[in-house]
Amino acid sequence: MHEANEGGPRADGRMVSLLNVLRAEPELRVFDGMMQIIPGGASRIEYHTLTDWLIRRATTVGIDQSLQDLQRYIEATELPLELAVALSGLTPGATCDMGRGILFVPWDSLQDSSQKRSVWERCVMGAPWFLPTGALVRTVAIEKLHLHQDDFPCYAEQHLAPIDQTELYDALMCMALVAPCAPHVVGSWVSIPQWAPVYGGGMLLPQLEGIASSQPFPPEAAHRARDLFEAFCALPANLKARLRLVMQRLNRAMRRRVTVDASIDLGIALEALYLSDTGDDRGELTFRLKTRAARFLGTTEAERQNIFRLVGDLYGMRSSAVHTGLVSATIRGRPANEVLADGFALTADTTRRFIASGEPDWNRVLFA
């Protein structure tokens, strides 16, 4: 292709003819060294770039379809992109509508792409306990835009930015609260439609930690998660930011295989929920935490006593982990992992209540 583009002596005459035909079409001048804008970046495209795409596309769908695809791109004013966050640990039986244009689809139903294949190969070859089971997907439209390279720096400074995927991860955290469970993101990417002669896209492969134990995600769980997600999106920005921290730490704590690490992460989540208003007044933290949790979650004296003891045990485990690097194997005669499991459920319950009703007035909780 380089020889054909440069008119070299070894150029294939067919490639030269095709390039000349493309150069003669006024509608295709956007491929004459223009900058093609893609999410978070841009690519310089030439007629030989288009020629290469046409040949590869024709080998897949045929000549007629590839030409129709090119015409579709020329006439388009927007490009539909698919955002995908691939998960391990939750298995949907069917596609679930999570609201706000976000779907949770089974892995096998996710459209094929080079990114999907890369994630699968990575997990199969290096981390089979993280095999993807589903993906959160959302389609967004971006403006189809070509700029002269002289205009690109100014445009990039003012407008060029990656697509915001925050709500996809918010939906994931709300899904995790329903069980609660600890799904793991094994990859995320942006897919450009195959009919578009566009080079680019993006992909992230996060570090994998812990072990993702898989569980089903039935329709009733999807309905609860969707309601929770809608309520979360309506919260004030500062509360959403704090609850993101809570949900991320809870998710991480549930994946931990070392009790010390799980205790610290869970302790951070509990502090963010129950002690965010203490400011510089950090006295009697354990008592305040236990009392608030007991009054907020318990409805009977027996329930409040149990919650009071459980939160005290959890915070004691956190303090021991932070200050000594050790956590006792048993707490009040119970295995530490069982205590942590109860703590996970309590933290998820608290977070769900914060999302549904907002942050409580602690004076009313304590004294009403």
What residues pair up with 81 in beta bridges, in sequence order?
140
Q: What is the pLDDT of residues 123-180, one digit of tens each?
A: 999 888 899 999 999 999 999 999 998 998 898 888 888 888 999 999 999 999 998 9
Tell me what percent of the residues of the chain surpass a pLDDT of 70: 97
pLDDT of residue 2: 63
CB atoms within 10 A of CB 100: 14
Going by C-alpha positions, the residue among 328, 285, 276, 336 that lies closest to residue 310 is 336
CB atoms within 10 A of CB 134: 28
Contacts of 150 (CB under 8 A, 6+ apart): none
Q: What is the pLDDT of residues 59-86, one digit of tens each?
A: 999 999 999 999 999 999 999 999 999 9
Q: What is the pLDDT of residues 197-254, one digit of tens each?
A: 987 777 899 988 877 678 999 999 999 999 999 999 999 999 999 999 999 999 999 9
Contact predicate 41/145, CB 8 Å:
no
pTM: 0.90
What is the full DSSP assignment across 28-55?
GGGGSSEEEEETTEEEEE-HHHHHHHHH
pLDDT of residue 212: 62
The 3-state DSSP class for residue 168 equals helix
Alpha carbon 100 to its chain's center: 15
